[in-house]
Chains A and B, each alone.
Chain A
Amino acid sequence: KQEVTQIPAALSVPEGENLVLNCSFTDSAIYNLQWFRQDPGKGLTSLLLIQSSQREQTSGRLNASLDKSSGRSTLYIAASQPGDSATYLCAVHTGANSKLTFGKGITLSVRP
C-alpha cells in the first residue's frame, strides 16, 4: 500500500529565504506526483505535476523535482514571501484511474 510522508509538519522561515519542502513515498511505481497548495479553510490548488518520466518541473519561483528510484520529491521555493504561507501537500498517482494518495502536508509560515 502506497504511503506518502511529509516531514516536518510545520516550518517557519524569514521572508526572502530559499526553502525546500520534502515528500517521500514508499512505492516507486507511480505515474506522476503532484504538489498542491491549501490556504486555511479553502480547497486545494495544483502547483506542479511531474510525470514519472520527468525529473523536474518549474513554475515561477517554484521548482519541483522527482527521484522515483529513491521515492522522493522536493518542492523548492525561491525568495519566499509572506504570501507563500499555506499548507503544501504532495500526492502520487499509483493507479490508472487518477486515484491520488496524499501526504499530510507541511504548514509553511513566512515571517515578514
Chain B
Amino acid sequence: DGGITQSPKYLFRKEGQNVTLSCEQNLNHDAMYWYRQDPGQGLRLIYYSQIVNDFQKGDIAEGYSVSREKKESFPLTVTSAQKNPTAFYLCASTPAGLYGETQYFGPGTRLLVL
C-alpha cells in the first residue's frame, strides 16, 4: 500500500533535548511538508521541500530544522530552541509541489514535554 508513515506515534521530550520526528512516503512524490497543529487551531506550515537537497521555511520555522537527503524521507528535528513544542505534528506530500494538487497526510506524531 502506498502512503505516508510517521513515527513514533507519541514522543516525549525532556528540557533542553533535541528530538527527531520521522516521515517516510512511498508515493514517489517530489514535495513534502511539515505542519504543526495545536488544539482548536488550524494547521501551520513549518517547513516544506519541493526537491531533494532543497527546503524552505514556512510560517513558523523558528526552533525547527529539517533535511531532505532522500526523496522518500523528510525528518523534522525539534530543537531546544523551540520553547513550546507540545503539539500534534503532521507530515504531508504532493506529487510535484504545484498548485492544484491534493495533499496527502500521514497519521501524525504527538509531541509532549516532560
> Interface SS of chain B: helix, strand, loop or mixed?
strand
- Say yes or no for B60: interface residue by CB 8 A criterion: no
A98:B99 contact, CB within 8 angstroms: yes
B42:A104 contact, CB within 8 angstroms: yes
Q: Which bucket holds chain A's interface residue count?
A: 20 to 34
Q: Contacts A4-B42, A9-B40, A100-B45 known; A43 to B100 CB distance under 8 Å? A: no
Among listed B65-73, B74-82, B101-109, interface-contacting one: B101-109
CB-defined contacts of B56 to chain A, threshold 8 Å: 97
Q: Which bucket holds chain B's interface residue count?
A: 20 to 34
B99:A105 contact, CB within 8 angstroms: no
7 A–B pairs (Cβ distance < 8 Å), ordered by A = A32-B99, A41-B108, A43-B106, A45-B105, A95-B99, A100-B43, A102-B44
Interface residues of A, Cβ cutoff 8 Å to B = 4, 9, 31-32, 34, 36, 41-46, 49, 51, 89, 91, 93, 95-105
